[in-house]
Amino acid sequence: MRHDYIKAGDEIYRRSFAIIRSESDLTPWSGTAERVVVRMIHACGMTDLPKDVAMSDDFAASGEAALKSGAPILCDAKMVANGVTRARLPARNDVVCALDDARVPDLARELGTTRTAAAMELWRERLAGSLVVVGNAPTALFRLLEMLDDGAPKPAAVIGIPVGFVGAAESKDALAEDGRVPFLVVRGRRGGSAMAAAAVNALASAVE
């Protein structure tokens, strides 16, 4: 049995993006913002994603400019950090995930929260002007909001796309309603590391 299928990577990309643009309602966005949503759809295979996407008006420009100026990309999960395509980054930006730091387990016990949320504390000194990317843990997104309440420096933009059933939707609503930092969220339960990394990859480069 032989299968007939497209083997050229660039042709697969070209057709994929054409299908996405022909089937999705992308009218709320243009330019970089549109590119971000298209790439998130590409990562999840779902053309109905736009109905759950919410983005502040300043998100795309702020996130893009931050990356161009060398801002670090602070990720809540290793799968997110791993999904960021290094060759697309405009300024050899650092991609950071603090989850494996030896201080995290003790810090989590001390703060009474998840390891992922505790790891955010280790970002504090790099937060100013950064791109924060939460693709896994709602607790990390809630913790970020608490840190901002406590006077932590502001990131340039926050991609808040945790996935799941407990706290995910609530944490994303809280980020969007907070309004202090440029944000991108996917309302509801959907999200995850692949979508989050895809958003970073779209902000990083216009190449499709």
User: What is the set of active-site residues?
Assistant: 42
Given a contact cutoff of 8 angstroms between Cβ atoms, the answer to whether 33 and 61 are in contact is no
Q: Which is nearer to a copy of itself, 125 or 151 (CB)?
A: 151
Of the candidates 41, 54, 79, which has an alpha carbon nearest to the alpha carbon of residue 193? 79
CB of 129 to a copy of itself, least distance (A): 23
Residue 42 near residue 170 (C-beta atoms within 8 A): no
- Which of 38, 49, 104, 145 contacts a copy of itself by CB under 8 A? 145
Span near a copy of itself by CB under 8 A; candidates 26-34, 58-66, 142-150, 199-207: 142-150
Contact 129, 66 (CB under 8 A): yes
Q: Which stretch binds a copy of itself (CB under 8 A): 40-48, 62-70, 87-95, 126-134?
A: 40-48
Per-residue tokens: 31: 């330019």
The binder of a copy of itself chosen from 54, 61, 65, 79 (CB under 8 A): 79
Stretch that binds a copy of itself, among 59-67, 106-114, 121-129, 200-208 (CB under 8 A): 106-114
DSSP state of 187: -
**What minimum distance in Å lies between the beta carbon of 75 and a copy of itself?**
12
By CB under 8 A, name the one of 35, 55, 74, 115 that touches a copy of itself: 115
Integer Cα distance of 25 and 10 in angstroms: 24
Residue 53: partners with Cβ closer than 8 Å, 6 or more residues away: 37, 40, 184, 185, 186, 187
Nearest to 134 by CA among 98, 88, 91: 98
- Which residues here bind a copy of itself, judged by CB under 8 A? 1-3, 5-9, 12, 15-16, 19-20, 42-46, 78-79, 82-83, 112-115, 117, 138-139, 142, 145-146, 149, 163-168, 170-171, 174, 178, 188-194, 197
